[in-house]
């Protein structure tokens, strides 16, 4: 979602939360961010270690930083926009569904 505060603060909190999500999905998992209305179409991979690898090879432990990087912006909540597979759950919904955050 553009113009949103991140679901999880950047830094260690985000890295730990992403690792928790990665522990409950089959990895490597495809991540998709699509918004046809806005012309957004990005893909990445969630790795078992809790990292997001973009198509160009750059690696992030913060979904928002990864989303901002691919979209060339500064205000995307990557937890809301990245989905596991086309039409799958968002990273944020997986985190809220009970992935341990510590």
pLDDT in tens, 7-36: 777 778 899 999 999 999 999 999 999 998
pLDDT band per the 50, 70, 90 thresholds, residue 4? low
* Assigned domain for 22 exists: no
Domain count of the fold of the chain: 1
* Assigned domain for 49 exists: yes
- The span from the CA of 57 to the CA of 17, in Å, is 22
Which residue, chain included where needed, has tokens 């691919």? 70
Strand partners, 18: none
Instruction: Give residue 63's pLDDT.
Output: 97
* Assigned domain for 11 exists: no
Please name which of 22, 38, 39, 19 lies closest in space to residue 30, comparing C-alpha atoms: 22
* Assigned domain for 41 exists: yes
SS3 67: helix
Residues 80/86, Cβ–Cβ less than 8 Å: no
Q: Which domain holds residue 40?
A: 30-94
* Assigned domain for 23 exists: no
Exposure class string for 16-42: b at 16+ Cβ within 10 A, else e: ebbbbbbeebebebebbbeeeeeeeeb
Which residue, chain included where needed, has tokens 């500064």? 74
Strand partners, 94: none
Residues 25/100, Cβ–Cβ less than 8 Å: no
């Amino acid at each position: 979602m553009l113009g949103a505060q991140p679901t999880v603060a950047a830094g260690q909190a985000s890295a730990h939360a992403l690792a928790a999500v990665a522990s409950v999905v089959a990895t490597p998992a495809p991540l998709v961010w699509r918004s046809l209305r806005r012309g957004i179409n990005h893909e990445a991979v969630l790795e078992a270690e809790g990292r997001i690898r973009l198509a160009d090879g750059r690696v992030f432990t913060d979904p928002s930083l990864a989303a901002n990087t691919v979209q060339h912006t500064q205000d995307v909540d990557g937890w809301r926009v990245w989905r596991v597979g086309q039409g799958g759950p968002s990273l944020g919904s997986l985190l809220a569904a009970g992935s341990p955050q510590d």
